[in-house]
Structure 1
Amino acid sequence: MELSKENVRKIRGIILFAALVVACLWKYDLVISVLSYAFGVIFPFVLGGAMAFVLNVPMNFIERHLFPEEKKEKNKSMKKIARPVSLIIVLILVVSVISLVMFVLIPQLGRTFSSLGESIQAFIPKVQMWATDLFHNNKEIVAMVNNLEFDWNKVMQFAVNFFKKGAGSVLDSTILVARSIVSGMATFFIAFVFACYILLQKKKLNLQVKKVLFAFVPKGKAEAILEVCTLTYNTFSSFLTGQCVEAIILGSMFVVVMAILRLPYALLIGILIAFTALIPIFGAFIGCAVGTFLIFIESPFQALIFIIVFLVLQQIEGNLIYPRVVGGSVGLPSIWVLAAVSIGGNLMGIVGMLVFIPLVSVLYALFREVVYIKLMQQKIDPNEIK
């Protein structure tokens, strides 16, 4: 190989990269601590970016419907106030939802949990009677069931102790608690201000990012990167919007139908199913299992009615609501949805399930485009392949 200046430069780069990798592996604990510190520094801005991404979805919807492009082009003053007004409306809606949860839903759920404790205490003697009749020939099982006890106060104390252990040593010191609260508030405030800045200046920031990208990256690659970013944003925003709207509709349907049929814990189960419905494929069935158990404590017959209601509403949701609300926004075949949910759940839990479906959808769309380009280069029509 001829040692030209270009080859010498490549060899030098490979040697430096290899030396850097070896140094990182040798002092991996130091590298991890540095990365942790750096992530702690940029975390408020990462959180702010995530908040801006979520808030941008309803903000775009409000701005698009309240301030159409035709009106903004005719009225320059409307164009200036469109984005701030849309942001204020979104923030008012968010504060209203939080207030509704704090002052309406939480007290109602507190009363529901209180009655749930009483129902469980009344249910245990029934279980003991059923076990005595069913296993009267097996004294060990009867003795074990008769020793069942339920103390709601102990359950609540166990939950508090579990939270304390999960929170670590932070709760062991009042000073550390105060410091943690202040730090959390400061982080949230910085993230919130950063999110508002992004939302108010998103057009300007978008233009600046494009200028930087075209300045340092070849034009063809820069356009490809922008196309991937656009596809990623559209996929994630469509999936987020569809999942949230679909979960709200499904939870509301359960609350209304259960209230009409006078099934117990309608509000609690409706909220539970709305939250679990955010988990693709398996979420609603988790809510169904928990709801069936809660209602079974009150009445096994009503639990059977609830299962029938769940199956009917699931069919309505799956065949009518989900295709219209979410539709083909993700554009991912069912087998890959299942794979994305499984991989995301194993790697990152519930968050991974939500993130991996649009992420895999973007990769699927890009790979499909590459395959079509390769087929066209070989002068093969993709539609002719059967």
Structure 2
Amino acid sequence: MYIHYNLYANYTWGMGGEIDLELNRRNMQKIISIIVIAVLLYWGLQNLSTVSSFFSRTFQILTPFLLGMCMAFVLNVPMRIIEKKLFSYNLKSKKNINDKIKRPISILLTIIFILAIIILVTGIVIPELIDTISTLSTNVSNSILKLQGLYNRLMLKLPEIIPINTINNINWDEINKTALDFLKIGTTNILGLTVSIASSIFSGILNFILGLVFAIYILIQKEKLSKQFKKIMYAYLPEGKVDRILYILRLSSKIFSNFISGQCLEAVILGAMFFISMTILGLPYALIIGVLISFTALIPLVGGFIGLFVGTFLILVSDPVKALWFIILFFILQQIEGNLIYPRVVGNSVGLPAIWVLAAITLLGSTFGIVGMLVSVPVFSVIYTLLREDVYPRLKAKKISPEKLK
């Protein structure tokens, strides 16, 4: 019995030693991790310019890939619909053929559909803009001739208005030198600005093309990439955490897809409102401005004002009074759309109550600007859904009756 007790004591002591050793090892790893993070944070704060330059350069390099991922996500929404509508039957005799061709055909049809919308909008709006600019240039030419005649008459009457001694005391050489210097500086600045704009446009086009190619590759192999991503996560993370992460990603994907669909529907409703209202009020270019506002409404914050500027410019040339009425109509419809239609249409598409839609746009829009306004509704919707899924089981576990919540 004594021997048995000693063996049991030695066994339990050995187990305790192994547990203590494991705990000490974990504590040491945590302490080392905290020290490393603290050192990196301190170094980063001391070298903010270097860190900022590094992240800026990294973001610049990754821009085509990030743009491609965003484009792939947006293109995936109509592509998925096209796949379901065109390839849902999948006859057994043609199953292999359909599996091979359905993805490339769906991607091609999606790109053609989006390009058709862009060409349609530009084909309707740009010719009218050209005609308006042509009319405006004619009016400007007439105005310049009138100003030139006024200037000539003023020069003839100048000796009568200003004493001859005053005119003789003016240093015309200095005025000419100042004017020439101003023109030289202005020309140099314009050339520099032109080169900068051309470089930015070229860089933007290049990033767009690379992003589109990357997006097409992602869409073609999205199932394979998803499987590889899951393998890596399950290999390095606990299974329960991976399941939770994948659930949140699936929920986010569903909500963002519904948000894009709701945003497109809301843009169509807004364009129809402008077309009907302008037709009733007898304002010109009702169809063109309605289509333009539907298209620009997809751009957060700035898009509506692009439609306002172009619409006002088109109407102003033909009738300045009607242009003023259009501006008033624009702000009225914008208030109706922003406070009534948008929260209901987009909020219902993502499952977020109207009041929280307004709160999301206000909060993230004021904090992060255009990007915040773009992602505010789907982000709040994901948070709202996860919070609701966590709250109700807790209330049920605490046996909180519905009467207490009224």
1:255 aligns with 2:275: yes
Counterpart in 2 of 1:75? Answer: 94
Counterpart in 2 of 1:334? Answer: 354
Counterpart in 2 of 1:35? Answer: 55
What is the CA–CA distance in structure 2 between the aligned matches of 1:103 and 1:305, rounded to whole Å?
A: 23
Counterpart in 2 of 1:351? Answer: 371
Q: 1:316 to 1:16 in 2, by over 3 A?
A: closer
User: 5+ residue gaps in structure 2?
Assistant: 1-19, 143-185
Please point out which of 194, 211, 218 is paired with 1:171: 194
Counterpart in 1 of 2:120? Answer: 100
Q: Which has the larger radius of gyration?
A: 2
Q: 1:253 to 1:346 in 2, by over 3 A?
A: closer
Identity within the alignment, % = 45
Q: How far apart are 1:31 and its partner, in Å?
A: 0.9
Q: How far apart are 1:85 and its partner, in Å?
A: 0.8
Please point out which of 61, 69, 72 is paired with 1:49: 69
Please point out which of 354, 370, 383 is paired with 2:390: 370
Q: 3-state SS of the aligned residue for 1:329?
A: helix
Q: How far apart are 1:256 and its partner, in Å?
A: 5.4
Deviation per CA, 1:92-131: give whole Å up to 9, x if none. Answer: 1122223334444212233245557899999xxxxxxxxx
Mean CA deviation greater in 71-80 or 238-247: 71-80
**TM-score in terms of structure 2 length:** 0.69
Contact residue 276 and residue 283 of structure 1 kept, 8 A: yes
Counterpart in 2 of 1:10? Answer: 30
What is the aligned length?
A: 339
Alignment of structure 1 residues 89-168 onto 2, 5 Å: 89-112=109-132
Q: 1:116 to 1:366 in 2, by over 3 A?
A: farther
Please point out which of 234, 241, 260 is paired with 2:261: 241
1:189 aligns with 2:212: no
What is the CA–CA distance in structure 2 between the aligned matches of 1:31 and 1:120, rounded to whole Å?
A: 52
Q: How far apart are 1:289 and its partner, in Å?
A: 10
**TM-score in terms of structure 1 length:** 0.72
Contact residue 109 and residue 268 of structure 1 kept, 8 A: no
What is the CA–CA distance in structure 2 between the aligned matches of 1:281 and 1:191, rounded to whole Å?
A: 24
Mean CA deviation greater in 287-296 or 227-236: 287-296
Please point out which of 88, 104, 118 is paired with 1:84: 104
Q: One-letter code of the match for 1:217?
A: L
Q: How far apart are 1:348 and its partner, in Å?
A: 3.3
Q: 3-state SS of the aligned residue for 2:77?
A: helix
Alignment of structure 1 residues 276-315 onto 2, 5 Å: 277-278=297-298, 298=319, 300=321
Q: One-letter code of the match for 1:212?
A: I
Alignment of structure 1 residues 205-216 onto 2, 5 Å: 205-216=225-236
Q: One-letter code of the match for 2:222?
A: K
RMSD: 4.1
Q: One-letter code of the match for 1:71?
A: N
What is the CA–CA distance in structure 1 between the aligned matches of 2:39 and 2:333, rounded to whole Å?
A: 63
What is the CA–CA distance in structure 2 between the aligned matches of 1:23 and 1:101, rounded to whole Å?
A: 52
Contact residue 300 and residue 370 of structure 2 kept, 8 A: no
What is the CA–CA distance in structure 2 between the aligned matches of 1:373 and 1:235, rounded to whole Å?
A: 22
Q: 1:328 to 1:181 in 2, by over 3 A?
A: closer
Contact residue 347 and residue 353 of structure 2 kept, 8 A: no
What is the CA–CA distance in structure 1 between the aligned matches of 2:330 and 2:205, rounded to whole Å?
A: 43
Contact residue 316 and residue 322 of structure 2 kept, 8 A: yes
Q: 1:121 to 1:209 in 2, by over 3 A?
A: same
Q: One-letter code of the match for 2:396?
A: M
